[in-house]
Amino acid sequence: MKVLTSYSEGIDRCFESHYFSIAHLHKESSVLSMHSHRCCEFYFSISGGRTFLIEDNNYRIEPGDLFMINPREKHQILQMDSSIPHERYAVFIDPEYLKTISTDLTDLTYCFTHRPENFSHRIHLSQGQQRRFTYYFNKLAVEDGFGHDVEERSAFAEFLVFLTKCAAEADLGEQP
């Protein structure tokens, strides 16, 4: 899958394909106003120095933070210190596609549907989890070659299983 370098292009590609898209964002672009979209989003921060507003919640972004944003949830990044580059990965997923790869035993929509009383859009990934996140992201970045489509779908399913486990563990050790 092609790694995009624009947030808006990632959203557009997700909707056009009814699939998912990935973006590696490291160049400062104009600050987006409060917005929402129709896709699920994972936002993984490699660097900090920003504040993330999601609905009525403010989160100080630190390296290793993973955010889970539902379709139609209003959100915005506030640029606190423009001298610090803000590198991050974004994964945009069509909610209907997410349902199609879930099973009765493995609900891959869990990160977006399970919202306990103490819910936080943010979980901080351990060093090992951060390396694993990056491993899966890079595995998805393979664009061509025999079987790349099958490898892409299977790697994405593994990636979502990993992210769902991270979210479930953050919810006080619950099982998804």
**DSSP per residue over 4-52, as a string?**
ES-HHHHHHHHHHHTSEEEEEE-S--PPPPSB--SSEEEEEESS--EEE
**CB-based contact 42:54 (threshold 8 Å):** no
Predicted TM-score (pTM) above 0.85: yes
Q: Model confidence over 120-141: pLDDT tens digits?
A: 999 999 999 999 999 999 999 9
What does the angle CA 23 – CA 28 – CA 29 come to, to the nearest 5 degrees?
Answer: 80
Q: Report whether pLDDT(82) > 80.
A: no
pLDDT classification of 96: cutoffs 50, 70, 90: very high
Angle between the N-to-C axes of helices 127-140 and 148-170, in degrees from 0 to 180, rounded to the nearest 10: 160
Radius of gyration of the chain (CA): 15
Is the CATH number of domain 3-170 3.40.50.720?
Answer: no
Q: Taking 80 as the threshold, does the pLDDT of residue 79 lie above it?
A: no
pLDDT at 47 over 60: yes
Which of 36, 38, 34, 37 is closest to 51 using CA atoms? 34
Q: What is the mean pLDDT of the chain?
A: 89
